[in-house]
Amino acid sequence: MKKIFLISIVFLTLLANYHTLAHSPEEVLIIHMTEDGFSPSQMTIPNNGKVIFENTDSRDRWPASNIHPTHEIYSDFDPKKPVKPGESWEFKFEKAGIWKLHDHIYPNFTGTITVGKSEADIESFLSYISGWAKKLFSNILNVLGLEKTRTIPVEKDSTEIFKDESMLRLYIKKYGPGQTIKQLNLLSAQFGSCHDQAHVAGRISYELLDDKAFRECSAECHSGCYHGATEAYFKENGTADLIENLKTICGSELNSFFSHQCIHGIGHGLMAWANYEIHEALKACDLLPQRQYSCWTGVFMENIVGGLTQEPSEVKIGGHFTKYLSNNPHHPCDIVEEKYKSSCYFLQTSRMVQLLNYDFAKVAKACLEAPQQYQQSCFLSMGRDVGGSNRKNPEGAIEACSKTPSDQYREACLSGAIQDTFWDSSGQDDALEFCRIITDSKDKDLCYSLIFNRARDVLSSKGEIKSFCLKTEGEYQKGCL
């Protein structure tokens, strides 16, 4: 109670002094929206600086905050409609930070406005406190069981979640972000792209689960869940202290598996936040104090699954644009710094299968064309894609991995395929079936070793682990237990 009283006194004192604090002087700068993009595309301004966006193009333009297409990191920074040729739109930046922007109509046009910190930035502070207090109050209501919720039941096969945000929130509460994104992805066949809905799901997931959202999201719907979680995080915490924020975003209490998943999700979000500038996103990952490679893999995966490969003139509203995809099966691994290459090849076959029509013999050949020190990573990546394209078909996965040129690479492929079956507790029976049908004793030993380690990561109790172990083949039960 004393702590709450002291916090209240501090907050009220700040509020009382709000009007007495001096603001930094206003400065007005101009960005021209030309046929080639934003000019200049990089700008540093003081707090409360005003930017006028003048449309000197012959087309409608639409400057807005990232992340495209929902603009939620700095949601006020959005004219909400196109700026006609010859017209302008102005915005006053009252929040310190690194604000990435894009053109909502032509998302390949991007830029960055850095707003300097100011001791007088009381409005940003109050905004942060307001968000913090709202979240705290919601958590208290949850604990006391007083939070108002809709009593309408939401079924696992609900279609309402695609159109109704309140039903989407209920669905996330009941089934979690992972199942939510899977259901939205299924519904996309009926309703169209699920990317925007996944953005909303990601934001709601962060509101409900904090940083846990980053490890429970998945990459369906063009990574929209990761994007939304990133938007919610930056909207709450800002971007002015990016280094410190990234250091704390994934809690230290996570085991190695979930820590990897969380930081991998950050990589997805950073790539979208950075306007798909792969070098910039990788450098942002380098700010992390540990597991930077997990973040790098998220960047490379986002480049493949989140970006579009159309020419800039063909990019439509709602899509993302990356210039780091080509018909070269080794791009962008061939142009990034050496320290990133292993992580790149660990995801690169997801691009190779697109180019080679899921012909895994050709994918194996492409992996052999990689520099030798990265071939192992490439075949592990191939195994993950083999597993993804042979869901509940372990015989097909084993056959695809047999197309590798050596036992070493076949085992790498199998390792990737086996682990792909067991990302959470729902995959344990699929993983056990995979091991059960393997006839080669060495491969069977490898399989059980992998899934026993994974079980200890993803199953939440000793009872669950024991139940899992008792379902293994008899001679392996003792090793599992």
Would you say 418 and 434 are in contact if contact means Cβ atoms under 8 Å apart? yes
Cβ 424 vs Cβ 433: under 8 Å: no
Report how far residue 236's alpha carbon sits from residue 248's, in angstroms, rounded to the nearest whole number: 14
pLDDT tens-digit map of 163-216: 999 999 999 999 999 999 999 999 988 998 888 899 999 999 999 998 888 888
Gap between the Cα atoms of 401 and 417, Å rounded: 9
Q: What is the Cα–Cα distance from 320 to 331, expressed in whole angstroms?
A: 18
Higher-pLDDT residue of 256 and 299 is 299
- Residue 293 — φ and ψ, nearest 5°? -65, -30
Nearest to 205 by CA among 188, 189, 221: 221
Integer Cα distance of 32 and 34 in angstroms: 6
The phi and psi torsions of 61 (rounded to 5 degrees) equal -130, 165
**Distance in angstroms (rounded) separating the CA atoms of residues 253 and 383:** 30
pLDDT at 18 over 70: no
Contact (CB, 8 A) for 52 and 29: yes
What is the tens place of the pLDDT at every residue in 305-326?
Answer: 876 544 444 444 457 888 899 9
In angstroms, the CA 97 to CA 114 distance is 6
Mean pLDDT of the chain: 85
The pLDDT score that the predictor gives to residue 218 is 87
* Residue 117: per-residue pLDDT: 62
Residue 160 has a pLDDT of 94
Answer whether 0.95 is exceeded by the pTM: no
Flag whether pLDDT at 134 surpasses 80: no
Rounded-to-integer distance, Cα 320 and Cα 250, Å: 26
Given a cut of 50, whether residue 69 has pLDDT beyond it is yes
Tell me: the pLDDT tens digits for 405-442?
Answer: 999 999 999 999 999 999 888 899 999 999 999 999 99
pLDDT beyond 60 at 129: no
Q: Has residue 122 got a pLDDT over 70?
A: no
Tens-digit pLDDT profile for residues 363-404: 999 999 999 999 999 999 999 999 989 989 999 999 999 999
| CA gap 35, 37 in Å, rounded | 6
Least confident of 3-17, 162-176, 333-347: 3-17
Work out the pLDDT band at 92, boundaries 50, 70, 90.
Answer: very high
* pLDDT: which is higher, 137 or 243: 243
pLDDT greater at residue 24 or residue 447: 447
- Residue 464 reports pLDDT greater than 60: yes
- SS3 (DSSP) at 324: coil
Between CA 390 and CA 263 the distance in angstroms is 27
Give mean pLDDT, residues 133-154: 52
pLDDT at 355 over 90: yes
Whether the bond into 398 is cis, omega within 30 of 0: no
**pLDDT for res 252:** 66
Cβ neighbours of residue 448 closer than 8 Å, sequence gap 6 or more = 435, 472, 476, 479, 480
pLDDT digits (tens, 9 = 90+) for 239-273: 888 778 777 778 767 788 888 888 898 898 899 89
Calculate mean pLDDT across residues 151-167: 88
Cα–Cα distances in Å, from 375 out to 327, 408, 426? 19, 10, 31
pLDDT at 256: 85
Distance CA 158, CA 307 (A): 28
User: Would you say 117 and 96 are in contact if contact means Cβ atoms under 8 Å apart?
Assistant: yes
Q: What is the pLDDT of residue 279?
A: 97
**For 442-461, what is each residue's pLDDT tens digit?**
999 999 999 999 999 888 88
